[in-house]
Amino acid sequence: MKIDWAKKLTSRKLWLAVAGLVSGLILAFNGSAEVVETVSGCIMSAASVIAYIVGEGLADAANKSIDATITKEQTTETTAVIEAPTEETEAKAE
């Protein structure tokens, strides 16, 4: 089974769990509440940035795929228009 890392890294649940784990460890080793708040805030800020970057990357990849499909279809249509004239088009030209 393949793990979808992009989905995992953008999960708010994951980042809340990481912040909770780190906060708990800081308190367990006699850290102050100020340190816990600062570290938790930093983790959540980093999570927001990571989620944004991954999300934009996925959106750009999807748009690039759609653009490539459209370009291929446009090229095919243009080629069909440029092909040799038929009897109908010759009759219209006269």
| Confidence bin at 79 (pLDDT 50/70/90) | low
Residues sharing a CB contact under 8 Å with residue 55, sequence separation 6 or more, in sequence order: 10
Q: What pLDDT, on the 0 to 100 scale, is given for residue 75?
A: 59
pTM equals 0.56
Question: Taking the CA atoms of the chain, what radius of gyration do you get in angstroms?
Answer: 28
Please state the domain extents for the chain: 10-93
The pLDDT assigned to 11 comes to 84
Model pLDDT for residues 22-67, shown as the tens digit of each residue: 999 998 999 999 999 999 999 999 988 988 888 888 888 888 777 6
